[in-house]
Amino acid sequence: MASASRRVPTPKNGVDFRGKVVLAPMVRSGELPMRLLALKYGADLVWGPETVDQAMIGTTRRLNPHTQTIEFTRLPSHGAKTPCGSQRESVIYRIHPSRESRNLIFQLGTACPARAVEAARLVAGDVAGIDVNAGCPKPFSTMGGMGAALLSTPDKLCAILEALVKEVGSKYEIGISVKIRILKTSEETEALVRKLCQTGITGLTVHCRTRPMRPRERAIRDQLRMIGQVCREAGVACLMNGDVVSRDQAEELAQEYGVDGAMIATAAESNPSCFRSKDDGGFVPWKDLAAECLQAALEVGNKFGNTKFLLGNLIPGKDKLHRMVSTAKSYREVCELFGLAEELGGIAREVDERIGIVYDRDGKNAVKNAKLKNETARAAGGDTARKKPSPVDGRSVLAQRGAEVSRALAVEI
């Protein structure tokens, strides 16, 4: 990988991107269980999914005693309540401090320097860096001038980065970075990168596609050497992104194009062991990864719907287990499908109860029908018959991040 003649100093609590192969920020796919799997199998750093500044502002930081995770929560706008009548909080962002904190980069969706600083301050003490999303082309990110829309307003993007460097990076001693896409011409891209490198950032990631391009279109790398050179002259670490499928390939491409490291996105969704080199064992069978993902999700209390989404990416679509998991109604049912009921059944039942999954009278099957839930509650003699349970994570988490809740697919950002 490239070496720099000069370097922007790495802050005390930050990380140097040089020589790193990292997990890309991805909506839904970048939640905590997948980040933990990526780190286990060799990812040097992990990016969380883009979180919009407005979603973070107003949250409360707390330590979850069940999972030992740090959660940033807020009361949902739809007014969901627990069975005892109190409002149930939504988890906006979750961090495992002992397993990922010093390797985690928080990606921020923003279009306003003041809001960016306000949101970043909340999480800055728990992460190794703040990264501004200036590359996602999806409407949930570009609305309001965020994401790839910032490529059209470089002065605003620079103002955001400068504010974060001054008000967050220097005070919390962490790095501030940005992720962009290439522009139509090499000249335009070079001018943008030079401006960004003067803001005080420590790292820049370039997704080698233009704003209109989608993942199915092949990445364009003809501007990559130039971008790496501009960053090297400024002492800013440069990562490449786009069609990188393994650690071995990442290191080869970084060497070939003169950049400092690489980011893996889509390939990590289906097999996070892609971060492990061939010499260290290479790829792990999907069944092993899916079982590990399930266990990690239980350990951190991950939202059940998101866990099914993660498993759906790991399990081949033609395998019968894929359909069975997609229709499962509880963690305990998924454990049974994996043959892990004896090993994980106890914790599965506890997690189901904490996130509001209700079982039928026999205690065997999870139910969704509100009427049956009430009948179950009355049979148990409880007062939940008059209260509608809702998941502890809330249904508005992705909406608050700016994602399309029920239809959103994993998106590389």
* R_g of the chain computed on alpha carbons: 22
pLDDT in tens, 238-265: 999 999 999 999 999 999 999 999 999 9
Domains of the chain (ranges; CATH) run 21-284 (3.20.20.70), 286-397 (no CATH)
Tell me the pTM: 0.86
One-letter amino acid identity for 207?
A: H
Q: Which residues contact 66 (CB under 8 A, 6 or more apart)?
A: 301, 350, 354
**According to the model, what pLDDT value does residue 388 have?**
39
Residue 377: other Cβ atoms inside 10 A: 18
Q: Which residues contact 323 (CB under 8 A, 6 or more apart)?
A: none
Tokens of 318: 């033609």
Q: What is the chain's pLDDT, residue by residue, as a tens digit (413 residues)?
A: 654 467 899 999 999 999 999 999 999 999 999 999 999 999 999 999 999 999 999 999 999 999 999 999 998 765 555 444 556 689 999 999 999 999 999 999 999 999 999 999 999 999 999 999 999 998 888 888 999 999 999 999 999 999 999 999 999 999 999 999 999 999 999 999 999 999 999 999 999 999 999 889 999 999 999 999 999 999 999 999 999 999 999 999 999 999 999 999 999 999 999 999 999 999 999 999 999 999 999 999 999 999 999 999 999 999 999 999 999 999 999 999 999 999 999 999 999 998 888 877 666 666 654 444 443 344 334 443 334 343 334 334 334 444 333 333 344 55
d(CA 16, CA 7): 10
One-letter amino acid identity for 397?
A: V
Strand partners for 263: 22, 241
**According to the model, what pLDDT value does residue 118 have?**
98
d(CA 194, CA 109): 22
* Residue 84 annotated among the catalytic residues of the structure: no
DSSP 263-279: EE-HHHHH-GGGGS-GG
Q: Which helix (H) or strand (E) holds 193?
A: helix 186-197
From the list 112, 136, 158, 208, the catalytic residue is 136
